[in-house]
A and B are shown apart, each in its own frame.
Chain A
């Protein structure tokens, strides 16, 4: 099975809960899900939707068209009328049929104009009937369900609209062929703490299944499997868990989308349960999470905590990261171990606050004034978010510098079912420290590898200054000391490049001697892996150079790999093809082709595939394609 479905409705109308029900129901039956959330920067009313892909194996991307479209409002029918094709099923509330396009006031003005144009070009009425007819003309099966009546058959009194999201989800699951017991079990999990809510929603689920059976809508019963995956996580969740496992005990943040959720998860789980046989070392522990007055405070407060020996981090998005620039520069100069998890979203400025972006790569590499070493790494799927968060804390401790961990919005809010996180995959590396009360030189120049020993506030006396400093940490403007301290700081990057395994910096997936090589980073990893499989089925050999660490950059490997590649295409969610620029700077190699998307939406398997085939078939030298799919 490979099922794609979209459930859409007004922001604040329970779309997320719907998605959670559907994800958990399929998970209960042993399937894997990959669920993406798209929403406006708005609290209530504007169009939001979840796009979910379900497979027995783990799905790694989205694809269009969708098999089932569930509309919890009329806007969804307009917004997604081109996402369905012959055989797709469209479910909506019968009462929407009276709606006119002009009444759909929360559709963006330009989107409405485009919808109007499409309906007019087919001589269809500018209303819901028109949108439905458009989908029917394309072969979709449209199903009008009297939402009110079905809910009322299950529950008397109350507000039926409150159950529309459960109803829509249950009808979807019934049409998909998932037995009712899995759906009811999912309801119990989603509303675990509210027995009355569980009871009512289970009744609605049963009524929905009954309705589908009576109207011959139920799908062929799906097989169920033993559950393989254990954790249902978003990228925000995974990074939070990874940080805790990596020893994080102090996190700061200033509220910003899509980074805040990570800190909220940490706050919700600030009481840590310890492994049974470790309890003698520590009875109970906790993570301190502080909402600061701004991002300047967030970075500097995390640095202050770090100087006591606490593993510390902060999380933000582009606009907040801008404010952190001065702090990051200080961390570079003073060799403060601090992790900044940078959730990229569409910029510049406030940009697309709730949509995806990968346009902060060059900024992450150049943030701050002056020259200083830093480590910049990036994650490309939910599991990586967790393991990389652990590693980021290690790098900060080992090399005594700021570590910027790039995650994009696609990963932040995508739900994925993953195996349990294996603690034995990442050892905790402590900093090279002096003993308590020992006199020492914090910026000792006499090192093999640029790494001087550290001491901690509360244990040792030492000094730090944002000015250039001598070995004790006192201000100096001595030209010779300046030169030696600059070299010592940068030597740490060489040490890091030597010590960090290559597979943590760059990876290759796919075929040897490929006809087409993708170069990418971040959340495109999943869709491209799927595209490589698709191309293989068509007899085309493709592979992917997947970048994970941009500083220190694996220049030699990238250079030798790309100089042997036949046809290279760079795939990124930005306009400037920023990773291409880094590669050109680091290796001198210019990548000829690019598939780019900066609409803020996910890149899907189908759209990358179609361009990839075009690039292979077209023998032109330069191809730059900008992708636009997604509502």
Chain B
């Protein structure tokens, strides 16, 4: 029987919240991938999105504000066999956690980052998040937003993520597909998910998005994937993705912007230096014998420190 990925914890998001579509897309993607509950770990930060691991029937950790990425990187590097998904918010990933977001692009560890993008800090009552446009005035703000807006797609591309996509929480079919692709991708993936916050963001509403979003995959010539066989097209595909990243207004593209399958993942890079890393990673290594003493021979390992 397929594992039930939905936990029995009561979901306390507001009615009409875009988070529901993301949660359903995640559980459907995991079910369709025929994974077991122990194969996947969810790691989140703080905020409404941060509660997601509790709503999933997989191992999960709801960490500190902004720290989902390094936490998840530790999980993945200690046990590269695990699939690690990060349901986290725009404030979490792009403000307090922005340094980690950039660093993870350089590492390309193999995380699946699902960026809950509603342009506000929901759980602290609607302050402007880094994806809110300059001059925006939502009902929860005392005055219009005086910060500029970060572009998550452009930032992810610039940081080196090898899978960059955008979903819309009311297009669960597309989003589920993107999550499955991301979980199967060997490098790190960012899926920027546009989602309305019905309580605090009365500008970027469900209808506002519905009028604007369109799917990139509906354009017949759209081909964002770099493989070994077409590696020479990487620069062109990167530029094309960047151009699409800048498209925002009357039309907002969703779907896969860029995927580069030729960039080695961090776990592959580590395996060049750490013996048997991929077959026998830290999480499965035996560290002591039957008498509970170390299996390491310190004299041989640290022979350069010995005076002979």
Contacts and interface: CB of A to CB of B under 8 A. Distances in A.
Interface of A: 24, 27-28, 189, 227, 229-233, 237, 241, 244-247, 249-250, 252, 269-276, 278, 281-288, 290, 292-294, 296-298, 300-312, 326-327, 330, 334, 417, 420-421, 423-424, 427-430, 437, 456-467, 474-475
Interface string B38-58: 110101001000010110011
B307 A227 contact: yes
Contacts of B37: 461
Contacts of A301: 70-71, 73-74, 77
Given A286-B276, A459-B38, A245 B64 contact: no
Contacts of A302: 74
Contact of B305 (A231, A276, A310, A460): A231
A270 B74 contact: no
Contact of A310 (B81, B283, B293): B283
Interface in B246-305: 270, 273-277, 280-283, 285-289, 291-302, 305
A250 B296 contact: no
B70 A249 contact: no
21 contacts: A231-B307, A237-B302, A241-B305, A247-B288, A250-B78, A269-B302, A275-B294, A288-B277, A296-B70, A297-B67, A297-B100, A300-B70, A303-B71, A310-B79, A423-B298, A427-B293, A428-B294, A456-B283, A458-B41, A461-B59, A474-B9
B99 interface: yes
A284 B276 contact: yes
A460 B63 contact: no
B60 interface: yes
B62 interface: yes
Contacts of B296: 244-245, 272-275, 285
Given A245-B298, A285-B285, 10 more contacts: A249-B282, A250-B282, A252-B74, A269-B302, A278-B289, A282-B286, A288-B282, A304-B74, A457-B75, A463-B61
Interface residues of B, number: 66
A608 B304 CA distance: 35
Contacts of A285: 275-276, 280, 285, 295-296
A241 B289 CA distance: 18
Contact of B81 (A458, A465, A474): A458
B155 interface: no
B275 A294 contact: no
Contact of B64 (A312, A330, A430, A461): A330
A294 B280 CA distance: 28
Given A24-B307, A273-B296, A293-B100, A286 B70 contact: no
B235 interface: no
B306 interface: yes
A81 to B, nearest CB: 34
A457 B63 contact: no
A477 to B, nearest CB: 12
A308 B64 contact: no
Contacts of B293: 423-424, 427-428
B17 interface: no
Contacts of A312: 74, 78
B274 A250 contact: no
A248 to B, nearest CB: 8
A223 B142 CA distance: 84
A304 B70 contact: yes
B274 A286 contact: yes
B275 to A, nearest CB: 4
Interface in B82-115: 82, 99-100, 102-103
Given A270-B274, A286-B276, A296-B67, A458 B283 contact: yes
A303 B307 contact: no
B286 A292 contact: no
B183 interface: no
B75 A230 contact: no
Given A290-B77, A308-B78, A466-B64, A421 B103 contact: no
A252 B41 CA distance: 21
B38 A461 contact: yes
